[in-house]
Structure 1
Amino acid sequence: MKAVEISRPGGPEVLTLCDRPMPEPAADQVVIKVAYAGVNRPDALQRAGAYDPPKGASDLPGLECAGTIHAVGTDVAGLSVGDAVCALLPGGGYAEYVATPAAHCLPVPDGMTLKQAACLPETYFTVWSNVFMRGGLKAGERFLVHGGSSGIGTTAIQLGAVLGARVFTTAGSQDKLAVCRDLGAEIAIDYKAEDFVEVVKGEGGADLILDMVGGSYMQRNINALADDGRLVQIAFLQGIKAELNMVQMMTRRLTLTGSTLRPQSDLAKARIADQLRAHVWPLLAARRVGPVMDQEFALADAAQAHARMEAGDHIGKIFLRV
């Protein structure tokens, strides 16, 4: 099969088209014939040599895809060859075929194309597990989403708004802010021209913040939280180190938490999939939420896809046509 491998740690140019053996399914796995694969920040970190795949995972990048079932393992029930699915992957999505646990597959939502479905798993697994399972967002709460125009951000805004939260977000251009408002953000903050701490505190502070920036944002996020607020950290684009005033943690009863998705156990990911199937897939089928899609690239042009993602001009998901 054709695939894109990381020839050496480095920039987008190290992504190289290659030939690889076809994967075989383990007992609890399926092999998917990939139609489209999503492009995500962890792919770029792996390419740069900063994010090793979990033990036993493919060394090929790619954490989500959509396509049709090509083969099923001996212990798999409920999925058959030819079924259209989208799936969270341990790796290997930048390829014509990929193996993944059957429990991490979800049906393509009614009326949705494979192209659209390929943009769902990584962001919806991440947002649901961090914002709702870990962060406990409730209707009526004030929810601040940083990076509102990213794949994660556009998903978090939609889910927060449709489930009754007051959603605030940050972005860096008027076009991005307009998209965020259209998706359900009540207040969209230009982080280049406004202080998000002042804006959010003017609304009473955030009950929950979803942050992927880190660095100097960490103390500012603490300052922007309401009493009993929660900060959920999912990435550190600005850096992993910061000096924090931890007294506020005690005096205002704050919670700092976070997670990464890829290293979690197969069982943990299966539990997230079950919640998505029950709570989010009906919203997708009803068109109450959906993927925001930026640009499509051919598999052989994966380097261009990474360059676009790292330039920061995209709105929504970048994806590969396989």
Structure 2
Amino acid sequence: MKAITYSQPGDSSVLSLEDRPLPEPAAGEVRVRLTVSGVNPTDWKARATTGRPLPFDEVTPNQDGAGVVDAIGAGVDTLSVGQRVWVYLAAHQRPFGTAAQYTVLPASRAVPLPDSASFELGASLGVPAMTAHRALTVHEDGPSRLAPGALAGRTVLVQGGAGAVGHAAIQLAAWAGATVIATVSSDEKEALARAAGAHHVLQYPSETLADGIRELAPNGVEHIVEVAIADNAGLDVEVVANHGTIGYYADNGGADFTARVRESFAKNVRWQGLLLYTVGERALLAAAEDVAAAVADGALPVGEDAGLPLTWFVLDDTAAAHDAVEQGALGKVLIRVAE
């Protein structure tokens, strides 16, 4: 099979297209013939991180993708050969990511993809949608699972509503019945956030941003999905509701943040860090099930008309795909592995 590999960390030039033996699934695993691979920021960051050895002699990158189950290991009774699936965390603690014609992974990380959903939609789920799910389900008094009505009566603030996680957070929150406020940095991104389903969109930077949010949510917002906590911690404390949760999943804007102590504890604020790779199996399975239900309901469309533009590359241009994500490509970067 054809696979993108690297055997040392570095910039995208370390990636190469190679011929490799077809991997065989062990007990509890499945092999997936991939159609589309999705690229996330953590894919290029894991490849570029120097100063520590790779976990394997050779790595095939990319966590997310979609395709068809090609072979099944012993003990797997939840999937069948020929079944369409989306996959997540394919390369987490494993050498076989989705930048290849085939990948092998635990059966629990391959989720049925209905015929009504495209492979590009499936490859756009994984890290973004499951991170968004986690951010929306860690509130002290909120739901631990998402479904229609689960967030009814609640207001969600999505900081950075035009990114992949922000897009999924808007869609999932709206599907679950929340009122969604999104913040963006341009007219173009405002159009995308509205297409994703945000009820209100505000632009930054603005000295009146907090006033605008409080006007829309006089009692504060219960859930904040935060992409740039270093920049926004002060604003978040201003607009969060009593017992509200600020779920932050990235370090855009800086590696450290500060917030006013008295205002934070007076509101019983929960600062909740989110990293899918360390969140634990229970949270992963809950997110996969709920995201799958949203997909079945048609609640997570992709493409520019749905607020998530798609940028395409082919497998031997994986290095360029990684560079595009590193350079901040708007929307979702996908790799077409097969027709």
Q: What's the TM-score, normalizing by structure 2?
A: 0.84
SS of 1:156's partner is: helix
**One-letter code aligned to 1:99:** V
Residue of structure 2 equivalent to 1:35: 35
The match for 1:170 among 183, 195, 203 is 183
In structure 2, stretches of 5+ residues that fail to align are 92-96, 144-150, 303-307
CA contact (8 A) 1:219 1:242 kept: no
CA contact (8 A) 1:297 1:305 kept: yes
CA contact (8 A) 1:38 1:65 kept: yes
CA contact (8 A) 1:125 1:276 kept: yes
**One-letter code aligned to 1:41:** P
Q: Give the total of aligned pairs.
A: 317
- The answer on 1:296 being equivalent to 2:309 is no
SS of 1:65's partner is: strand
Mean alpha-carbon deviation: is it higher for 67-76 or for 103-112?
103-112
C-alpha distance after superposition, 1:49-89 (max 9, x if no partner): 17989978983221111111121110100212221111113
**One-letter code aligned to 1:244:** A
Residue of structure 2 equivalent to 1:246: 261
C-alpha distance after superposition, 1:140-185 (max 9, x if no partner): 2221112211111111111212322111112222111012112221
Residue of structure 1 equivalent to 2:325: 309
SS of 1:215's partner is: helix
**One-letter code aligned to 1:153:** G
Q: How far did 1:126 drift?
A: 1.7
Residue of structure 2 equivalent to 1:217: 232
SS of 2:22's partner is: coil
CA contact (8 A) 1:54 1:263 kept: no
> 1: distance between equivalents of 2:85 and 2:103?
12
Change (3 A) 1:159 1:267: closer
The match for 2:285 among 258, 267, 270 is 270
Quote the sequence identity (%).
Answer: 30
Mean alpha-carbon deviation: is it higher for 188-197 or for 102-111?
188-197
Q: What's the TM-score, normalizing by structure 1?
A: 0.88
The match for 1:179 among 186, 192, 205 is 192
Q: How far did 1:119 drift?
A: 1.3
Q: How far did 1:268 drift?
A: 4.2
Change (3 A) 1:185 1:90: same
> 2: distance between equivalents of 1:237 and 1:133?
21
Q: How far did 1:36 drift?
A: 0.5
C-alpha distance after superposition, 1:217-266 (max 9, x if no partner): 22332222122211001111222212222222321111111221123444
Change (3 A) 1:232 1:96: same
CA contact (8 A) 1:36 1:65 kept: yes
> 2: distance between equivalents of 1:264 and 1:256?
15
CA contact (8 A) 1:7 1:16 kept: no
> 2: distance between equivalents of 1:79 and 1:130?
29
Residue of structure 2 equivalent to 1:229: 244
**One-letter code aligned to 1:289:** L
Change (3 A) 1:224 1:236: same
Residue of structure 2 equivalent to 1:90: 90
**One-letter code aligned to 2:90:** P
